[in-house]
Structure 1
Amino acid sequence: MRMKNIVLALGLTLVASSVLAASRMGHYENLQKGQYLQSPGGAYSLMMQTDGSLVMYRRDGTVRYSMGKHGQFAAMQGDGNFVLYSAFTVKLWQTNTAGQGGMYIEILDDGNLRIMPLGPVQWPVWEIGAERHDQDPTQAGDIVGRDLDVPGAGFAGHIGLWDGTQVYEAMGGQPQNAIRTSSLNEFKSASKYWGKTSPKIPAGLQENRCYLAYCTNQGYDHRVFESRVAIAQRAAQIRALGADYTLGRFATRATWASETQRATRGTYRCDTFVLDLLIASTAHQNANNEQAQWSNYVWNLWNGPKLPLTVFDAFR
């Protein structure tokens, strides 16, 4: 197997090499710090960085998939498991594919990284999937989803809302404010990306609200927005207010501001946060039957049992 050291300019841009690295690595082989795999056409690279991070990059140097940090080497084991090890041979990240015999890992030009068995049966035992750009959000109010970055619980998922330029998401581990923004690339690279779903918000909805922390005068502070813009404005308002995080399914919504009451922060996890943002498109003007059905649908999801995965699927 041919592998070459690779240099990162400013930590991001991959410097081209006149010799391509191998696109696959067989069992009993490993990636040491500074070594990498590269897809046949050079569109993607899987690098064992000198800082101990195992990261898959796109050609432009942005992150496609991040697997782990503080490692010493990544091994394609004889038992079929691909593992990132520390200097003390502690498993920091793994594909959990042990016990299936000889395997090889390969990186493809469609953005897929997969583990394949040796022999005639040719289907992956593990993969991140091809990168589908037609599954990226295109308008404010689109929901994006990915695996939850927790071993054994990834299926439950994590979702966020696209405001047209960035992703708003509720995250644990942030004591001051559970609401953060991230780029689409950051969201997609954190774990296996599901894609986007576009809620079918009826056309013609307009929302008349104050999106500030405190409304001093409704005539000046209230704004009328098309519903998808209103959703983005609500996301910015909640982030500005700050919010607390809960793992429970019962959330408290951030209040709306008024002339007599300052808006207050809410308590969310990722799915209840997204639903609260969509609720911002239900207090509509000129209601008709279609608009009323949309409002009932969102509120029923809010009031019923839910997980990030079920909320994501509910708007497919």
Structure 2
Amino acid sequence: MIARFIHKNSQRVNNPFIPINCAALPESLLEAELFGFEKGAFTGAGAKGKIGLFELAQNGTILLDEIGELPLSVQAKLLKCLEEHEVRHLGGLEPIKINCAIVAATNRDLMARVKEKKFREDLYHRLNAFNIQMPPLRDRPEDIVELANFYLKEYNREFGMQKRLSLNAINKLQKYSFPGNVRELKNILKHAVVMGEDNLLDDILADVLESAANRDSRLASLNEKRSLGLEEQLRLDERSILEHAMRRCKTTRKMAEYLKTSQSRIARMLKKHQLSTRSQPS
């Protein structure tokens, strides 16, 4: 949205705005999309060839979304394009002059990617002429109202619906952490509009947010475990299995049957984890 705002408030407003998600295409197709190709340039190339997105954005603006995912080989060609203001089709010989504003967006720490040798430092500095840092959506809940209403209106128009959100639903959206930022908000609203049976989206939105929160909790737990050593992970998993069995079984004998092991082993494991059953072993 910021990229479109920049475009609409620039002198290029009457010319094309061309977005591309750099993470959405494999390396070979990404290069062809950005720079274009001549006929016969590669297997599957069209009979007439194709101009690239930089040419389509001539005198306008091109948005390179998820720039941090750009393969290193394409980064080198992008740097040359930015420095020389020209592109060359795949399979082509003649350079083609371009004139467009370039906006790059990422949720990655590009300097960290530079240190990891996954992003070119010269390209980083070439792109970093004017930097806008956007706080995550969870840190600006006041924006959720406008964004939710904007995308709800868009999806109602796209799918011919008249769905709406109550104040209660807006409050629930504002309390959710949105680890996927605005993209996740868009996906949640789109799902609710398409799948909701009622015009008021409160019920389906509550279900979607609960499911998303549970997913985020599981992912956080998994990431926390990954930071531990193998022995500590195994210890925590073993204790969790024992606690689950204790909730279902009242004795060590029943626990042994449930977990398909010996009663003596269950007793040793309970002692190891300082756990005890509700009743004496039978």
Fold conserved between structures, TM > 0.5 = no
The two structures have a TM-score, normalised by structure 2, of 0.22
Higher gyration radius (CA):
2
Q: Higher helix proportion, which one?
A: 2
Higher strand share: 1
